[in-house]
Amino acid sequence: MAPFLGATRQYLCLSLLKNSALSVMSVFQLLCSIFMSLLSRLRSGLKAEIGIFFPMLVLRVLENVLQPSFLQKMTVLNLLEKMCEDPQLVIDIFVNYDCDVESPNIFERIVNGLLKTALGVPPGSVTTLSPAQDIAFRHESVRCLVAIIKAMGQWMDQQLRIVETRPPKDPDLDSLGVESNSMLNGEEGSAIDYDLHSESYGELSEAANLEQRRAYKIELQKGISLFNRKPSKGIEFLIGAKKIGGTPEAVASFLKNTAGLNETMIGDYLGEREEFALKVMHAYVDSMNLEKMDFGEAIRFFLRGFRLPGEAQKIDRIMEKFAERYCKCNPNSFSSADTAYVLAYSVIMLNTDAHNSMVKDKMSKSDFLRNNRGIDNGKDLREDYLGSLYDQIVKNEIKMNAESSTPQKQANSINKLLGLDNILNLVNWTQPEEKALGANDVLLRHIQEKFKAKTNKSESIFYMVNDVAILRFMVEVCWAPMLAAFSVNLDQSDEKVIVFQCLQGFRQAVHVTAVMYMQTQRDAFVTSVAKFTFLHCAADMKQKNVEAVKAIISIAIEDGNYLQEAWEHILTCLSRFENLLLLGEGAPPDSLFPAVPQVEADEKAPKSPAHQLLKKKGAALQHPGIMAVLRGGSYDSVVPAVNVTGPITPEQINNLISNLNMLDQIGNYELNHIFVHSQRLNSEAIVAFVKALCKVSMSELQSPSDPRVFSLMKIVEIAHYNMNRIRLVWSRIWQVLCEFFVSVGLSENLSVSIFVMDSLRQLAMKFLEREELANYNFQSEFLKPFVIIMQKSNSAEIRELIVRCVSQMVLVRVSNVKSGWKSVFMVFTTAASDERKNIVLLAFETIEKIVRDYFPHITETETTTFTDCVRCLIAFTTSRYNSDVGFNAIAFLRFCAVKLAEGGLICYGGSKEASDQVNGDVPDNHTFTDKDEHVYYWVPLLTGLSKLTSDPRPAIRKSALEVLFNTLRDHGHLFSLSFWIRVYKSVVFPIFDTVAHGKGVSLDGQSTEDIEGLLLENVWSSETCALAAQYLVDLFSGFFDIVRLQIKSVVSIVTSFIRNPTFASIGVSAFLRLTSNVGNMLSEDEWQGILLLLKEAAASTQPSFLLIKKTMDGIEIPDSVEAYPEGDLFTENELPNDEPEDDSLQVASYCVSRMKGHIAVQLLIIQALMDLYKTHKESLTPLSVMILLETFSSICHHAHEMNSHAILQEKLHKVCLILEASDPPSLHLENDSYQNYLKFLQTLIDDNPSLSEDIGIELQLVAACEKILEIYLDCAGLPIQNQQLPGDRPKAKWVIPLGTIKKEELAARTSLVVSTLQVLCNLEKDTFKKYICRFFPLVVNLIRCEHSSGEVQRTTTCIDVR
């Protein structure tokens, strides 16, 4: 192969060079044919040569737009089209030239040249082409562009192994898997020989490496462009981008060897006086080898790379350095560098004088000799030397300026890079066309040397890639020119051929850009085709626009898997197309609000053609949709331009009629084909398709004048077609649809919302036909839009429709509903609090049927479903429209309990976690066995009833309490101990939180209104608490054997009632009821525990007296105030007046009431203690008895303390006088407490003498008697410190008679004192003697003091007798 390539370079390439300038068509066609053969078969070995021949043969002709040879350019265009038949050839050209820094951008120049040709001759330009020739060029160039993009697509398909005719069997799994876009080793036909280097191929065939090479080239060209404008900035940019080195030598090499640099700018930069630029100039000159060169030849060689600047100082610096370099390379040429410097200036002046047409008096040879006399250190240079130099300059001008114009700058720079300047100069030479180039053997040898030099470079290695990522870089180069060429020609031409070619180009471009996921480029091509459909302006449509519609449909079918966001443009066109089809069939657009109602006759008659609709039915022209079609609008306008003023002309109507007839070429089949075959799209594509369809449907429905439902109906169809996709993909689809249905379902347009909800119902019914496995929740997600719209919609009609839809779906598909129950119950829960009574009743009617007839289905999947059902029923208990609904809901809760007790449920292992979610936490360190698993269904039911007991409506509270505790009572035998613990913690105890943790009512800072509110709240709570306490005690008593460990908590709740003055009687009754029921079964420790709790409760009530005292101490009670009836103090209106005395009286009145309540509590506790002992004295241990005694003693002491506050008692008495109310019975409390205390002690002594002796009951009895007598004597005016002891000498003193109040008090205390004396008299003889010394002085004083009656004195006689 190598000898053959060598011979080809030596003979064939040389022949091509010699004949390239000939314009003989037969020769040119032969050249192109040979060049095509080289491209097809030998491009791998002739990379450098092809890089030269391409600009010389192809690009030179292609880029000549104004004055080309018609036959030559047509030959070149045919050549390019033939090249594109080999897709690998197109790719190889881009990879080996456009991605090679040292090579021209052949692919880019081909595309840009074709674009210029496709756009035609610019207006106003002078050209030799006839209009027919220009059109032919345009058509052929478009054909070439189509061939290029088609070749790219074919190569891409080959690498990716895309089979367009057969869709994948499972599009979802195909797209979810790994995409086969890795590099594939493509092979070319056997006729093609690639001389590939394996090492370089392995390193450089990667798309990433090619991207780096291409990026390097682009950035280098950017730096060159910047240099050509501002040299210093360009050099700075290139150094910063590391494209050249930062040393002066590196910059000089760049200026000397880089193609594309402007020679004038190079000269300006070399002449700069800045330090770095000066060093660059020195390095530039020093890099030249001027040895053995004649001075004229040397200066000509020196000035070939740049043009001398116009500034004299810059020229001076450059020529000075040149002279130094020449003398250094040729030491014997001149005596000094000054001679060379002066002579160089003379040569420059001679060149300007001899070849400038503006100079009339030319310099003669003698003048030149005279000007250069004495320049060699005062000596003259040889005349023959100067004369020869003069003749060279005059005959052959030193060309210092670049003869390139601005538009051809890039081409000339590339020509310079490849050494083509002289070749193209010869091609453009004005010699006779028949003369060949054989005479210039020197030039040919020079070009051959260039070939050899490039062949030996590493860049001449030919690379072939098969990574499709390279197409991204190719598309970035060619997409904009192709888009411009296709768009302009499609817009300006109506010829079928050009229209077909342009649309083919668009289709191929969309295919490549879509598969390569180049979104911007893909959307640009799709949008352009969509605009050319003219569906937004049907009155101006032509046949080419119908062809554009066909192209859109073809793109959707062929490349649907890769369109992504571009689907929106396609579906928008389909929506508009369908609208026009309906109009063409004589049917009105599918508006929700037709402007002209259809009468029965029209419905029965066949659809009239379009011209009948538009001509005969003049009223139909007023329809917004038809008006919009006739008036047209912009492609991007969402809302039709209905408000555009101006009449509709007959011409517009006629055009529309004919255009609608043209649309019959397509029909509905092609339109529906896209939607039916959406099931063939892969997972990513179907999601994108649905997103775009929802967006288009949203724009249709949001039209204020012409809402349409075409896309909405297609959404339902699409969902139905793709319902069999795998669950992961369908979940993504439904996530998009869910957002859409919610957004549109909340529309202010009622008709739109109703239509959407009906569509959603259809989808839900279809989906519920499929069975769902356990522990999946897709049904719940599917029905979620109903829930969201139900919660957010302001339309009662929509909410009612949702309830009806959900009811219908559930009742029809009840056996298939699994996780969907959650959403169903959420809908009905929302309906329970609706403002419309009919919605509430409709929802409850469905819930009633579900619970009664389909209860097993509710708990078929998981416990949380039953929880949602319970919550739903509880929500209906709050209905404010119909109390029957609330009671029926509670009744159904009981029904649920019965069903649970029957055990007809299916349970799964996840129920424990579900119940934990209901309650929020788990009881402390309790585990549950498998046999207890079913009880978790009880948790949401019982918890719901428990929360319902705090409902503000008394009837509901009472009913909930009854159902709750009856349920626990009737079915508690099913519960284990561990579950009972949970029931008490999460169900029973929370009912009493208000009482158990409640505090007494604070009077500090409270206004009268606040106090009244607190009283009313307590009254409201007492109605529930009394019943709740009774149920609590009975429940605990009924399951005492199981829940025995909960006794402390239960008693704590009961005693908490005692702590609250409002509920004290309830607490005492419940305590006695509890001990009566379970007292015989309590152990000693349990008795002690509950009695200690009772003692603590009794003690906790006593501080309330201190609060009353503190409040009364801050109140001044007037001596005389107008009496107010007691009822007037607590009214719902304002106080009688706003005087401070009245406010104080209000507070004092409340204190009196609280004082009476406090006394009543103490009396209840005393009675409870007595009853407790009488009933359970056999069960009480000494420790328990001591607790009772301590409680008695504490109450007695507290009662005496209350009466000892004389000022408080006086204030209370005044208040009661003013209120015309009875005084608080504080004295009665004291007498009664001591009376019962004595009775209790005496009973203990009588019933159990041994116990009494062990715990010292006699001593406590005597101490109590002593205390009672002391209190009586103090009241009688004989305090202890004034009493006379036996043996004391009597002292004479005045005895003041007692007042009326004291006498009344003594009378009240008489019975207690008499009882006390009787107790002392009844003491045993030994005991009497033992304690006589303690109480005898008190008895003596009783005889001395004043009494209200003689009963006390008669009783003391008994003691005297003993």
Q: Which positions are catalytic?
A: 311
Give CA angle at 406 (403, 411), nearest 5°: 75
Scored b (16 or more CB within 10 A) or e, 926-955 reads eebeeebbbbbbbbbbbbbbbebbebeeee
Given a contact cutoff of 8 angstroms between Cβ atoms, the answer to whether 114 and 481 are in contact is: yes
From CA 1084, how far away is CA 1197, in angstroms rounded?
Answer: 28
Cβ pair 672, 622 in contact under 8 A = no
Residue 1143 has a CB neighbour count (10 Å cut-off) of 15
- Look at the block and give the residue holding tokens 């209901």: 918
Alpha carbons 761 and 669: distance in angstroms, whole number: 27
Q: What is the gyration radius of the CA atoms in the chain, in angstroms?
A: 56
| Cβ pair 775, 733 in contact under 8 A | no
From the number of C-beta atoms within 10 Å of its C-beta (0-12, 13-18, 19+), residue 1188 rates as: buried
Q: Enumerate residues 6+ apart whose C-beta is below 8 A from 451.
A: 9, 13, 48, 49, 52
- Report yes or no: 753 and 745 within 8 Å, Cβ to Cβ: yes
Instruction: Say how far apart CA 669 and CA 545 lie, in whole Å.
Output: 19
Query: 894: number of CA atoms within 13 Å, CB side?
Result: 17
In the beta sheet, which residues pair with residue 376?
A: 379
Residues near 448 by beta carbon (within 8 Å), at least 6 away in sequence: 9, 10, 14
Q: How far apart are CA 271 and CA 1300, in angstroms?
A: 135
Tokens representing residue 322 in the block = 């040149």
Task: Extract the tokens encoding 971.
Answer: 């079915």
SS3 of residue 494 by DSSP = coil
Contacts of 755 by beta carbon, 8 Å cutoff, 6+ apart:
592, 709, 712
Q: Is the Cβ–Cβ distance between 755 and 715 less than 8 Å?
A: no
Q: Measured between alpha carbons, how far is residue 895 from residues 213, 518, 865, 891 in Å? A: 80, 63, 16, 6
Distance CA 975, CA 942 (A): 13
Backbone angles phi, psi at 168, to 5 degrees: -65, 150
Q: How far apart are CA 1186 and CA 1180, in angstroms?
A: 10
- Distance in Å from the first CA to the final CA of the chain: 155
Is residue 39 within 8 Å of residue 50, measured between CB atoms?
yes
* Maximal CA-CA distance, the chain: 183
Query: Helix H segments across 330-469?
Result: 337-355, 365-371, 383-395, 409-417, 421-427, 441-455
Angle at 885 between CA 883 and CA 888, to 5 degrees: 110
CA contacts within 13 A on the Cβ side of 365: 13
Cα torsion 565, 567, 570, 574: sign? negative
Place of tokens 């004043």: 1346
In one letter, which amino acid is 29? Q
Cβ neighbour number for residue 793 with a 10 Å cutoff: 20
